[in-house]
Chains A and B, each alone.
Chain A
Amino acid sequence: EVQLVESGGLLVQPGGSLRLSCAASGFTFSSYSMNWVRQAPGKGLEWISYISSTADSMNYADSVKGRFTISRDDAKNSVYLQMNSLRAEDTAVYYCAKGGVSDYWGQGTLVTVSS
């Protein structure tokens, strides 16, 4: 059974940093690209980052480019999102999702940016 479990969401002050993790199981993690998608309270889905299966290609939404960094560790079956210079508008539930077409999603982790 495919499982994706996000962690690391917290209350953080504006300008702060946070690292989200997504632990994967139930599939050959190293064979799949991964995405991060977020959803602000009461809003729609926003794709924010992608990493290829071989980690040689990463892409970001303009809203996070230069502040967020995606990475993966195939030995740990995990994908990460390093978030720096956080803003109030980054407050959202953050989901990791498997594959180019995201066929499996985690349950999400809540990041709140507030003073």
Chain B
Amino acid sequence: AIQLTQSPSSLSASVGDRVTITCRASQGINSALAWYQQKPGKAPKLLIYHASNLESGVPSRLSGSGFGTDFTLTISSLQPEDFATYYCQQYYSFPRTFGPGTTVDIQ
């Protein structure tokens, strides 16, 4: 199974900060990577698919990049609604796998 690691596991930031989260795959997955946001007690929400494609309705301050094994999710200017946990997921092969998550909280 393809393993995904995320770094950092958590971070504290302020409104307006630029935030970058990294996801690394144990083997190449081309661009078959998605990013999800989850808030407490809620279902995950798709943010980015195919590594860099922004899901409809997702603010443009979020962006994704990467190919192969190394991927990043960037929030250019953190807003109050962005405080949440972020997960990457690969859909290159079965079993699908998620990263362990990165929690972004208020500094």
**B-contacting residues of A (Cβ < 8 Å)?**
35, 37, 44-47, 50, 59-62, 95, 100-108
Contacts and interface: CB of A to CB of B under 8 A. Distances in A.
Contact of A102 (B1, B38, B46, B100): B46
Contacts of B67: none
A50 B1 CA distance: 15
B83 interface: no
Q: Is the interface of B mostly helix, strand, loop or mixed?
A: loop
B100 A47 contact: no
- Chain B interface bracket (under 10, 10 to 19, 20 to 34, 35 or more): 20 to 34
B34 A44 contact: no
A61 B46 CA distance: 21
Interface centre among B44, B45, B95 (most CB of A within 10 A): B95
Nearest to A48: B95
A62 B98 contact: no
Given A35-B96, A62-B95, A101-B91, A45 B44 contact: yes
A101 B47 CA distance: 11
A108 B34 contact: no
